[in-house]
Amino acid sequence: MDDKEKGLEVRKELDQMVDTLNNLPVGASLVWLWAWDIIRDKFDRYSMDDFSDEYVITEGTTLNGIWDKLWDGPPQDFTLEYGAEIMDEAVQDWLIDNEFIASLEDDGWLNDIEDSDDVQSE
């Protein structure tokens, strides 16, 4: 297959994806796709046991649980208007706010939220 044929095949696949997205029963379907792709990527990355990232999936969190929460109330700040980096940050913040992921300390241990609350109240 030469480059021109390959290009036509890629266009055909992209056309099919666009048609599929346009037929989804949600507004801003590309934003939904982008958000879900970020969520799945973070879920896979933060589920690893090597703790090389600064976050970890919280105990009991599943992709189904994340999806249910997303579907029940999609965040208004999920937008591609300001670029991919801002979208990634919005998804990350949403995952943290909903306690689907938690921050690790520099030594690879979970931050203890209760300890930080005790320090603030003193």
User: Taking 70 as the threshold, does the pLDDT of residue 37 lie above it?
Assistant: yes
29 exposed, middle or buried (CB, 10 Å; 0-12, 13-18, 19+)?
middle
pLDDT, greater one: 77 or 114: 77
CA separation for the pair 49, 92 (Å, rounded): 19
User: Taking 70 as the threshold, does the pLDDT of residue 24 lie above it?
Assistant: yes
User: Taking 70 as the threshold, does the pLDDT of residue 115 lie above it?
Assistant: no
- For residue range 6-17, list pLDDT tens digits in order: 999 999 999 999
Could you tell me the pTM of the whole model? Answer: 0.79
From 21-30, 44-53, 58-67, 81-90, the region with the lowest mean pLDDT: 44-53
